[in-house]
Structure 1
Amino acid sequence: MLERVETGNAAAGGAASSTGAAAPVVGPIARRPLHEEAVDRLRSAIVQGELAPGIRLNERVLSERLGISRTPLREAVKLLATEGLVELLPNRGAIVAPVDAERLAQTLAVMGALEALIGELACAQASESDIAAIRALHYEMMAAHARRDLAAYFAHNQAIHLALVEAGGNAVLAHTYRQLNANVRRVRYMANLSPARWDAAVREHEEILAALTARDGVRLKALLSDHLAHKTAAVLAALQDGAAREAA
C-alpha cells in the first residue's frame, strides 16, 4: 500500500475541438502536491490497519517507503492529526491515534442524527442523475463484496455515503459530516472485518438503495440510522473483546 508515490508528468491530451481545431498539446499540467498523496496513502494504511493504533510513525522509514522527503511527510502527518487519526506527542513525535471507545460512541451518536437528516434531504433533493450515480456505485460495491475485496468495497461504500450527503444539497451538513466521518473511517472499516457484519451491511445497503429510488424519506432516514447503529454496536463489541483479552 505504501508504494512509491509517482511524481511523473502525464502527457496532455490532443483531442480535436468541436470547431475542428486541434486542442493545444502544450499547456499547464495538473500536479497534485506530494503531501496530499502522502495523506491519502497514510490514511488508507491507518484505516485498513496496516499502521496499527499506538504505533510510532517513523519519519525515516515512511519517507523511504513513500519515496518522498520528510517535509511533505510532516505536512501529511499534521493533516492526519486534525482528522484524529494521528496524535502529535511532545518530544516523542507522532503515533497512530488509539481508538477511544467513549469518544467514538459519542461521535457515532452525533453521526446517527446526521445520517437520518441526510436520508430525508437526499430523497427530497436528489436529482435523477444523482440517484443513478449512487446506483452505479452500489453495483460496484456489490461486485467488490462478491469477490471479497474489502478495500474496494469500503472505497465504494464511503463514496455512496458521501454522494448521499452531497445529493441533499446542504453544504453545512456536508462539511460537518465530512469532518466527523474522517474521525470514524477507521472503525467503519473495522466493522466489516466480521464476515457476518459485512454480509448484513450489504443487505442493509440493498434496502437503502430501494428507499432512495422510491424517494421514501421516512424509510431511508430510519435505514441509515439503523445501519450506523448496527455498525457502532459491532465496533464497540470488538473493542470490548480486545480490551478483555488484553486484561486476561
Structure 2
Amino acid sequence: MPVVAPAMPLQGESARPGVSLHDELLVALRDYIVEGHLADGARVPERQLCERFGISRTPLREALKVLAAEGLIDLLPNRGARIRELGSEELRELFDVMGGLEALAGRLACERISDAEVAEIERVHHDMYRFYLRREMHGYFQCNQAIHRMIVEAAANAALSATYASFAGRIRRVRYSANLAKERDRWGEAMREHEMILDALRRRAGNELSDILFLHLRNKRKAAQAEASA
C-alpha cells in the first residue's frame, strides 16, 4: 500500500526559514485535499481542519480562498466550501488542454533548456524513483509535480507558464488519485513514462518529448476516469 504522509499541526512560527505560516498552511491544506482525505463534493469541515492544523478560522479561510482560485474547492456563499467535483466531460477537456500545454512546453524546453536545468530535473527524477520504490506516494507526487513544473519553466514562455498554472490546480487532485488506480498499475506506467521523458529531454528531442508528454497526460486521464467509475 502507498504510504501517505499525515497532516501535522502547524507551529507558532514556520519551521522553514523564509516561509510564512500562511504559505506553510497553504501547502499542508493543499496536500491534505489533493491526497484524498476529503471526498469529492464533500463539505470542507472548518472546525476539524482548525483543530488538525492548530489554527483559527481566519487563516484557514484565507487559505481556502487561494485553493478556490486554484480550482481545488468551490466556495459556497454563506455556507463554507466544498471539494470540487469534476464531471467526466470537464475532466476530459481539462486533460486535453493540459496535454497540449505540456506537449508545447516539452518542445520549447528542448530548444532552450540548459545543462544545469537538465541535471536538476534528473536529480529530482532520481528522488522520485526512490519514493516510488518505497511506495511513498506523498514524496513521489511532490517530485513528480516539480518535474512537470520545471519542464514548463524551461520552456521560458511567460504566457505558457501562466496558462499552465491556471489549469494545473484544477486537476492536481485527479492526477494524484490516478496513480492509485486499482484496475491497472498506473503508478508503474507513470514511472516508466517519466524515464522516457528524462531520456528525450537529455537528447533535446523536442518532437519526441512533446508526444511522450501528451500521451502521459492522456494515460493519466484514462486511469483517472477508470478509477472514478470503479
Aligned pair partner of 2:78 in 67, 91, 94: 91
1:60 partner letter:
R
Contact 2:112 2:155 in 1 (8 A): yes
TM-score by length of 1: 0.85
CA RMSD for the aligned pairs? 1.7
Q: How far apart, CA to CA, are the structure 1 residues paired with 2:207 and 2:41? A: 41
Q: CA deviation at 1:158?
A: 0.3
Q: 2:116 aligns with which of 96, 106, 129?
A: 129
Aligned residue runs from structure 1 range 70-149, under 5 A: 70-149=57-136
Q: Give, in whole Å, the separation in 2 of the partners of 1:201 and 1:10.
A: 33
Q: Deviations over 1:63-114 (max 9, x none)?
A: 1211111111110111111111111123321111223222121111111111
Aligned to 2:9: 4
Read off the aligned partner of 1:79 and give its amino acid letter: V
User: Counterpart of 2:137?
Assistant: 150
Structure 2: how far apart are the matches of 1:97 and 1:46? 10
Larger radius of gyration: 1
The aligned residue for residue 192 of structure 2 is 203
Q: Where does the alignment leave 5 or more consecutive residues of structure 2 unmatched?
A: 1-5
Q: How far did residue 10 of structure 1 move? A: 6.7
Distance 1:112 1:30, change over 3 A: closer
Q: Give the corresponding residue for 1:59.
A: 46
Kindly provide the CA deviation profile for residues 176-202 of structure 1, in whole angstroms up to 9, marking residues without a partner as x.
111211111111111110361110111
CA distances 1:124-146 after superposition (whole Å, capped 9, x unpaired): 00000000000001100111111
Q: What residue number does 1:244 align with? A: none
Give the secondary structure class of the aligned counterpart of 2:81: strand
Aligned position for 1:246? none
Runs (4+) of structure 1 exceeding 3 A deviation are: none
SS where residue 87 of structure 1 aligns?
strand
Q: Answer whether contact 2:14 2:24 (CA < 8 A) is retained.
A: no
Q: Cα offset for 1:54?
A: 2.1
CA 31–129 in structure 1, closer or farther in 2 if over 3 Å, else same: closer
TM-score (normalizing by structure 2): 0.91
Q: Is the aligned partner of 1:191 residue 2:178?
A: yes
Letter in 2 for 1:153: Y
Paired with 1:9 and 1:186, the residues of 2 have a C-alpha distance of 25
Matched, 1:221 2:210: yes
The 1:88–1:8 alpha-carbon spacing in structure 2 relative to 1, beyond 3 Å, is closer
SS state of the match for residue 95, structure 1? strand
Q: Distance in 1 between the 2:144 and 2:19 partners?
A: 27
Distance 2:163 2:202 in 1: 25
**Can you list the C-alpha shifts for 1:189-240, whole angstroms capped at 9, x where unaligned?**
1111036111011111111111000011011011001111111111112222
Q: Which amino acid aligns with 2:134?
A: R
The match for 2:162 is 175
Instruction: Count the aligned residue pairs.
Output: 223
Query: Following TM superposition, by how much is the alpha carbon of 1:31 offset from its aligned partner in structure 2, in angstroms?
Result: 5.1
Distance in 1 between the 2:157 and 2:38 partners? Answer: 34
